[in-house]
Amino acid sequence: MAVGSGSVGSGAEGSGRFISFEGIDGSGKSTQARLLADALRAAGRQVVLTREPGGSPGADEIRRLVLEGPPDRWSPETEILLFTAARRDHLEKTIRPALARGDTVICDRFADSTRMYQGLRRGPEGADLRAMVDDLHQRMIGVEPDLTFLIDIDADTGLSRAVARNTVEQRFEDMGRDLQARMRAGFLDLAKAAPKRIAVIDGQGSPEAVAAAVLTRALAHLGQTAGPQA
Ligand code: ADP
Ligand code: TYD
């Protein structure tokens, strides 16, 4: 885990690696996070597979607050606070302890999702809220994953996959094609700005083809940064 300024640091950093998956709804992140966890476990690694919002009992309670109910239930600013509160609890209760044990943590969404989903929203002054997201992140979270997979897919494909899934957690999935397209472009901009951390993977192929590309990149990263576990 890469520690930025303002680390939450409650315990010693272990040797574990922290990998996140990002992308628009329906891009295949959850599928790929699961397939990577399976492959790394088969290779003998201890893996904690987790997701945001959620990943700890407290954060799962916040998940219900933010994902269920009418779309205008929370202001964008309140959403930033809720997602960041959930992330802080997840980090304290699940991610840091796992990394301290030396486990590999695979997380379906992390702070890049807040940078996009809340950061692209407009505040009362008309400017987007990205600076507010970054400020709170630095104060309250202060860490980035070691490696992030951006599963890149066009907005129409993502939307049709997400809609076909049809869950009760619809607050964000109802946002429509234009926003999905802006979100995709925003994620690609993030990847350009952080090319060492964020690997862009084409999500259009079969799940197996995408998984093979992800695994190759993950093994290259893990091989460079941590010895294989017994
Ligand atoms: P996300 O977590 O990004 O929203 P999911 O992994 O839940 O995406 O996938 C969304 C839907 O698309 C699921 O029904 C899943 O089975 C399907 N799916 C995932 N990956 C692919 C793929 N590469 N090709 C076709 N369908 C896929
Ligand atoms: P998730 O359950 O991962 O949905 P999906 O499988 O469709 O990606 O995430 C639920 C929603 O929460 C998703 O639409 C994105 C949104 N979200 C934010 O708006 N901000 C955040 O910080 C996070 C982590 C998620």
**Residue in the block written with tokens 């890049």:** 112
Q: Kindly identify the ligand whose nearest atom is closest to the C-alpha of 109.
A: 2
CB-CB neighbours of 221 under 10 Å = 15
The one-letter amino acid at 102: G
CA of 220 to the centre of ligand 2 (A): 28
Nearest residue (by CA) to ligand 1, atom 19, is: 28
Q: Could you tell me the pTM of the whole model?
A: 0.92
Is a pLDDT exceeding 70 seen at residue 53? Answer: yes
CA of 25 to the centre of ligand 1 (A): 9
Residues 105-163 have pLDDT tens digits of 999 999 999 999 999 998 888 889 999 999 999 999 999 999 999 999 999 998 888 77
**Assigned architecture for domain 17-225:** 3-Layer(aba) Sandwich (3.40)
Q: Check residue 175 and give its pLDDT.
A: 63
CB-CB neighbours of 204 under 10 Å = 13
Residues 64-79 have pLDDT tens digits of 999 999 988 999 999 9
Residues 201-221 have pLDDT tens digits of 999 999 999 999 999 999 999
Q: Kindly identify the ligand whose nearest atom is closest to the C-alpha of 151.
A: 1
Q: Check residue 124 and give its pLDDT.
A: 81
Closest ligand 2 atom to the C-alpha of 30? 6
Q: Kindly identify the ligand whose nearest atom is closest to the C-alpha of 180.
A: 2
Q: Report the mean per-residue pLDDT for the chain.
A: 89
CA of 228 to the centre of ligand 2 (A): 31
CA of 163 to the centre of ligand 1 (A): 11
CA of 109 to the centre of ligand 2 (A): 7
Residues 37-50 have pLDDT tens digits of 999 999 999 999 99
Q: Check residue 79 and give its pLDDT.
A: 96
Enumerate long-range contacts of 225-230, CB under 8 Å, 24 or more apart: 225/17, 225/146, 226/15, 226/16, 226/17, 228/43, 228/44, 228/45, 229/44, 229/45, 229/46, 229/102, 230/44
Helices 76-90 & 57-67 angle (0-180, nearest 10): 160
Pocket of ligand 1 (CB under 6 A): 23, 25-31, 161-162, 165, 206-207, 210
Q: Check residue 162 and give its pLDDT.
A: 79
Q: Check residue 177 and give its pLDDT.
A: 82
Question: Above pLDDT 90, what percent of the chain?
Answer: 76
Closest ligand 1 atom to the C-alpha of 165? 14
